[in-house]
Amino acid sequence: MFVRLPDVSSDVTSTDILDRFFKVLHAEFATDADGHRRTKRQDRSLQVSFPEYDLYVDAVPARPYGDGTWEIPQKGDENEWVRTNPYGLTDLPSTMNADYGEYYVPTVKLLRQSGHALLGTKKPGGFFIEMAAYQAFDSGAVSGNDQAEYYVSALREVSKIIIHV
């Protein structure tokens, strides 16, 4: 979940915003009905789990950069931010799906489900799988005549990327 914080100034460090963000989310979602902790701080986001739905949400705080893009905390660096364009990332799947006869989006969903089934909460996560799928399709290495062939072709190409993680 991309959380836009339009009033965060440029002098706020990524550590500070994550600390504040965690405080708010932890106050609201600290534990589930069984007393299990539901909030977890990560490198650039906060995770809130909803075990009753077998779901977790990564909430990423973002501040405006000034040119229509946003900044999110930089992974591994407590005082840095990295620029991102979530709106551009939203457009990419639609374009790719049209280019591949509406097979791209269902294939990515299958890959993400496969990753979740095989890896659970281990890395790489769903977003990594999605970006690896985009790279594989964009390279022209993924092809097929039906959904099954696209899935197998994409799985083969994405596995080549994942093996290097």
d(CA 143, CA 107): 11
Model's pTM, two decimal places?
0.60
Contact 36, 51 (CB under 8 A): yes
How deeply is 98 buried, as exposed, middle or buried, from its count of CB atoms within 10 A (0-12, 13-18, 19+)? exposed
Cα-based distances in Å from 41 to 49, 58, 108, 112, 138: 12, 9, 27, 23, 33
Cα-based distances in Å from 72 to 75, 91, 106: 9, 19, 28
Ordered per-residue pLDDT tens for the chain, 165 residues: 888 889 988 888 888 888 888 899 888 888 777 777 889 888 888 889 888 888 888 888 988 887 778 888 887 666 788 888 877 777 888 888 999 999 999 999 999 888 877 776 777 777 788 889 999 999 999 999 999 999 999 999 998 987 766
